[in-house]
Every structure is written in structure tokens, then in C-alpha cells.
Amino acid sequence: MIQLVNEIQTQANVVYVLGAEQNTLEFPNVEWLSTFVEEFLKSKKESDFVKMSNQYFFFVKENADLEKMRLAGYAIRTQLDVKADNLTVVGSTDAALALTEGIALSNYQFLKYFKDAAEKSYALKQIQLKGAFDAKIISDLNHTIKAVYWARTMVNEPVSFLTAEQLAKEIELLGQEAHFDVKVLDKAKIEDLKMGGLIAVNKGSIDPPTFTIMEYKPANAINSKPVVLVGKGVVYDTGGLSLKPTPSSMDLMKSDMGGAACMAGTIYAAALNKMNVHIIGLIPATDNRPGGNAYTPGDVITMYDGTTVEVLNTDAEGRMILGDAIAYANQYEPELIIDAATLTGAALMVAGDRASCLMGNASDEVLAALVKSGFAVHERLALLPFWDDYKEQVKSSIADLKNIGGRNAGTITAGKFLEHFAKYPYVHIDIAGPAFTEAPQNYKGHGGTGTGIRTLVHFLANYKGL
């Protein structure tokens, strides 16, 4: 991760962020290097590097656009040798910090299943930062990056390892480390609670479901009622009897628990950072398979709160398990309910992989704060209309609701379906677009991205209560 230092080690690989403070930077006393820097500053290049023996010197022009600095950090990671075991960033500006963040996020690898993992593994384990930064800022950033790493790993793990029960165990380990409470409800308890949506989706699987409850409650919490975070935990989605095609669809569906990874990772970071916000997390988890007793199109399911749902497509399973979890959240009388889910393919039609889709009935101030946080960390949120007109599309002729709303506005109608279960201010974030990459994509990596964590950590760090 990132370590604050006061000196540059001899033979260190160094990144110099050149801007207003560049005259105070300590360059090696090498004449040709000084000439190189002078020519670079006169050029139109935003960054450049030179290698002297086994030592790298990177130079990056300061940019007020912090995302460009993060991307410059990614470029440095790609240029740095795999076996380079040290790197020091020199600079004291927000730009230097963003660049360092970009390097750290780019340093993630998922190599568990490679035979030659040791050869592929980056030797760089710690990035040194020589600059005038508050230690708390660096500590908080490290914890957030650590949470993103964890979420990426969870999304990258196949269902052959990450069953619903295993996901619950992984979250329990987070609780033990960061000192927040974790309670896991097993299949028998889920059935006792009559969580009909979660039970129905699980019927086609031989693996049992879980319902994980997390609680982080600091003594100095600013909110008298909690913020509840709900994450979709479909550890693998075949589509059930409404079977998905395989290429670029079912083959990617280990990622369908990205919402669960996001919310558990957010609480993990909040606890490590000792935020003063009371947070509860709810993770309904199962796989969705077409086993012998799978739920079917045409079924009518009674949800946890008694709502009846006509199932028209078993591949609209995420809203079934989230509906139960959101209804369960009402017992806490929360200030705010936020869910995150890889919920609809329609979200990619709206915003592609460039943004998540945001909607809800929470106040304009809450929605604006989330949008602001998304821009701050470049996990952008596209705010969609959430008018009550859309409710008509999820009304059933034989039950209270139906689980699909038709071709038009599919992302919004999925949100309106979920809103039905929330009795308190509610926000829905569809992260289907940016949650998983099929090819390497800058510092977000290849595979699970951990999207949403940095946004929600920023939002909660600035949260003032309602």
C-alpha cells in the first residue's frame, strides 16, 4: 500500500510530480538528467520516464484533473518492471496523491489460479510517498484501497470456491479484522423468516442460501438511526430456467455478487477508518440455477413482507432477493436505505461501462451528494428519472407485482420494483456496467473492479445525517 516517508532511498525508483512546487524537488545530481527534465517541461508530453541502469525516473506534469493523474499512475505501473520492488512518489499536492492512488489501484492482481503465479506477481508491495500529507488521509486511503482489493477478489473468485456460504465466511473474516458485528442466517432461519424471494431463487441449487447482517456502530455515531446498505449476492447466475446464453453473458456471471462485494467492502473500509456513522449491511446470497425444483416463470412468490410477486422471468432474480432484504431493513427504521446491484443489462444500454445508474426517492440533497462523491473518485453516477408512472410497468394482473417491467426503461422499472419494499428514504444503484471488465481497463483492472466502494466511502465520510 502507501507509506509516507521523509527521504528517498538510494537506488529507488522515483516519480516526480512537476508543478508549482517543482523547484523544491530533490533531483539526483546528474547533469544529463537535469537536461532531460528541462526538455520534458518544454515539451507537450504529460509524462515521460528514463531508466538509468536498473533505476527508473518518472516525470509527470501536475494536472488539476485528478482522474488524469490516476491514469498517469496506471501508466507508470505498466511501464515499471514486474520485479521492481520499490517506488517513491515525490510531491505534496492533491495531484500527487491521486497519482499515487492510481498506482496502488493498478498494483492489484488476481493470480490464485495460475501455476506460475510467483513469476507473474508484482514485486512492488508498498508505494512510498514523500510529501506533506496528514497521516490520517493516507491511512484512510490505504483502507479504502484494501477494501477495493477485497471486493475485486470476491468478484473474481468462481462459484466453485465462492458459494453463498463461503461469501458469508469471507465477510465474517472482515468483521473480525475491522471489529464490526457479523451475523449469518442459514437456510433454516431464512425459511423461518419466510424470505420467499431468496428461498425461491435458491430452489434450483444444491447449495444453501445465506443472509448476512453486518453492523458497524461507533460510540460517536452522528446518526441516531442507521444507514442500511443492501448488496445483491448472487454468487452465480445461470438465469435459472430462463437460461442465459453463455458467451459474454453466463460466462461472466460469477460477477453477479458485485453489489454484495461493494457493500461489504464499504462497511469494512468505514470500520477501518473509524467513521462516525452507524451502518448496517444486509447481504442476501445464493446462486441461481435451473435445478430439479427451480422456481419457474408463472410462479407466484410471497415475499418477506407479504407482497406477492408473479415471476415472468427467472433471470430477474436479483430483485427477488433484494426485495426481501430491503423489506427486512425497515425494522431498523433507517435514515436511508441504499442498495447496490449488478441488476439489469439495460443499465449498459443507458450508460455503458462508464457509469452506474442512480435513482431513488431519497432527498435531492442525498442524490446530489452521491453524484458529487461519484465524480470526486471518478466512479460516475448517471441520475435517472424515478417517476411513479414507472410503477405501472411492474403491476401484475394476478399478484401485487410482477418481476419484469417490459422492454422499455428496464433499469428504472427494476428500481421501482425494489422501491415497493422500502418504507424509508431509498436509493438504488445499478452497477451492472462498471462492476466487471472483460479486458484490462486502466487502474480498474481486469475482471472485478470493486466499483462503488470509493464512492460510498467518500459519501459516508462526508455524511452529516438526515
* C-alpha torsion angle, residues 119, 124, 126, 129 (rounded to 10): -170
Of the candidates 254, 163, 253, which has an alpha carbon nearest to the alpha carbon of residue 212?
163
What is d(CA 157, CA 403) in angstroms, rounded to the nearest whole number? Answer: 28
> DSSP code of 80?
S
Going through 72-166 in order, the beta strands assigned E by DSSP cover 88-90, 127-130
List phi, psi (to 5°) of 338: -125, 130
Please name the residues in contact with 160: beta carbons below 8 A apart, sequence gap of 6 or more.
none
What is d(CA 464, CA 466) in angstroms, rounded to the nearest whole number? Answer: 7
Determine contact, residues 310/300, Cβ cutoff 8 Å.
yes
Of the candidates 321, 365, 330, 356, which has an alpha carbon nearest to the alpha carbon of residue 433?
356
State how far the alpha carbon of 282 is from the alpha carbons of 197, 277, 374, 390, 421, in Å: 15, 16, 22, 26, 14
Catalytic residues: 244, 319
